[in-house]
Amino acid sequence: MSENPFDALGGGGFDMNALLQQAQQMQEQLQAAQERLSETTVEGSVAGGSVTVTVSGVGDLVSVAITPGTVDGGDAESLADLSDLVVAAYRDAKTKADEMASTVLGPLAGGLPGGPGAPGAAPGQLGF
């Protein structure tokens, strides 16, 4: 039985090397895209720019900027409000970073289940 079982598919065989080469190219493209994302920054702000947060394209917090006079440093309630503003600004920036990642990585994920932005995907999960 020396017959190739893939001959029935109408093409004279299955080229495993070509498939592996294509997978390697996709992996290299994905790594390059991830590197670009980690080097890119996105800003989120609230309260008219009183609090601005910068995150990397992969969602890591890079910096927090607070406009002087935004809060009274001696007032506990004012500091609690500042905390809420920082969290809100981070969420704004993280949403923008996630959208950017989805745009950059989406074509590389090729609609694979669990890819970036897919239901059930963990934050930062690439789906592979």
CATH number, domain at 49? Answer: 3.30.1310.10
Tokens of 79: 């500091």
Position 64 scores a pLDDT of 96
Position 13 scores a pLDDT of 61
Domain membership of residue 83 as a residue range: 41-107
Along the 128 residues of the chain, how does pLDDT read in single tens digits? 556 666 555 555 677 888 888 888 888 888 888 888 888 899 999 999 999 999 998 889 999 999 998 888 888 898 999 999 999 999 999 999 999 888 887 766 654 444 444 444 444 444 43
On whether residue 69 sits in a domain, the answer given is: yes
On whether residue 84 sits in a domain, the answer given is: yes
Position 82 scores a pLDDT of 92
pTM for the model stands at: 0.64
Q: Exposed, middle or buried, 86 (CB in 10 Å: 0-12/13-18/19+)? A: middle
Position 6 scores a pLDDT of 60
Position 109 scores a pLDDT of 62
Closest residue by Cα to residue 43 from 35, 34, 51, 52 = 52
On whether residue 89 sits in a domain, the answer given is: yes
- State the total domains in the chain: 1
On whether residue 12 sits in a domain, the answer given is: no
With contact defined as beta carbons under 8 Å apart, do 50 and 70 qualify?
A: yes
Position 112 scores a pLDDT of 47
On whether residue 79 sits in a domain, the answer given is: yes
How far, in Å, CA of 11 to CA of 22, rounded? 19
On whether residue 113 sits in a domain, the answer given is: no
On whether residue 24 sits in a domain, the answer given is: no
Position 111 scores a pLDDT of 46
On whether residue 33 sits in a domain, the answer given is: no
